[in-house]
């Protein structure tokens, strides 16, 4: 059975001060929005395993003129 170390659903949940070690699949599974998920500690073993932080500054709406605007006609 597939199981995340922590599963979060809904809106506005806060995850902090969690130590996730050797989760069988993904560390955090989430759906919904407005969750606060805090970062790894500098000493986390995930860094040695090749974890790359999510570039949150690149996530969101793109205002590029190359993209269509809504509604598309």
Interacting residues of 17 by C-beta distance below 8 A, sequence separation 6+: 38
- Model confidence over 8-59: pLDDT tens digits? 899 989 888 777 777 777 888 888 888 887 777 788 887 888 888 777 777 7
User: Which 3 state secondary structure label does DSSP give 57?
Assistant: helix
User: Positive or negative CA dihedral for 21, 27, 32, 35?
Assistant: positive
For residue 56, report the phi and psi dihedrals to the nearest 5 degrees: -60, -25
Give the per-residue pLDDT at 70.
64
Sketch the domain layout of the chain as residue ranges: 1-73
């Amino acid at each position: 059975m597939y199981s995340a170390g922590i599963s979060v659903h809904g809106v506005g949940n806060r995850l902090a001060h969690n130590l996730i070690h050797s989760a069988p699949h993904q560390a955090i599974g989430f759906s919904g929005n407005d969750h606060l998920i805090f970062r790894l500690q500098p000493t986390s073993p995930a860094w040695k395993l090749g974890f790359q932080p999510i570039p949150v500054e690149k996530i969101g709406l793109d205002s590029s003129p190359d993209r269509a605007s809504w509604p598309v006609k």
